[in-house]
Amino acid sequence: MKREIKERTILDTFAKDFVDVVEKHAKYIIVSGFVAIAHGRSRGTEDVDLIIERIGKDAFKKMHDELIVAGFECIQSEDPDAIYEDYLKDKTSVRYVRKGHFLPEMELKLARDELDDYQIRTRKKLPLTGLDIYFSSIEMNIAFKEELLTSEKDLEDAKHLRIIYSDVLDEIEIEKIKEKILRLRLS
């Protein structure tokens, strides 16, 4: 499927600027609603969801400090020790914004289990988005939206991705991921 590169949105630029810093410190993936939006789905969102590989506090502090220099700030705290110990270490996400702005937000969390590790290992740059960033695979996004998230918005996102990638989807992979979701997240 051939697609023209769309004009960059505020969300596109925000995500790209943020991951340009993150990728110097950790492997990452963009997941959830922004994946469908980056593929042309027309729906609103105010955040981008980002999972990074598990890193230690010192590595996180270096990344956080560079994010601050790049013009971002964490909503929960200015103290990287507190962000890591009180949130990330306990598998809670944190939110970053551009300094002086409320939106958009980057919801950042550390990989929490083998399913997140698998998402990061199988990450992809998706040319149809026109963005030079890593996303979790289309199969992963569909599986999560259909099996775990299941809101009307998520099911519509999955439907949109199924249409766009209908000729290349690996249904066996989707089912394998759904089984992992059942075992690791819904048991």
The 3 state secondary structure assigned to 140-181 is HHHHHHHHHHCCHHHHHHHHHHHHHCCCCCCHHHHHHHHHHH
Question: Which residue carries 């999972």 as its tokens?
Answer: 51
Q: Parse the chain into domains and list their residue ranges.
A: 10-137
**CATH number for the domain whose boundaries are 10-137:** 3.30.460
Instruction: Judge whether 135 and 31 are in contact, CB under 8 Å.
Output: yes
In the three-class reduction of DSSP (H, G, I as helix; E, B as strand; rest coil), residue 63 is classed as helix
Separation between Cα atoms, residue 58 and residue 49, nearest integer Å: 23
Query: pLDDT tier at 3 (50, 70, 90 boundaries)?
Result: very low
Query: pLDDT tier at 7 (50, 70, 90 boundaries)?
Result: low
**pLDDT above 90 for 162:** yes
C-alpha 117, offset from chain centre = 13
Please state the pTM of the whole predicted model: 0.93
Average pLDDT over the chain, rounded to an integer: 95
Residue range 126-142: mean pLDDT, rounded: 96
**pLDDT above 70 for 139:** yes
User: Strand order in 94-98's β-sheet?
Assistant: 72-74, 94-98, 105-110, 47-52, 28-31, 134-135, 124-125
pLDDT of amino acid 6 = 53
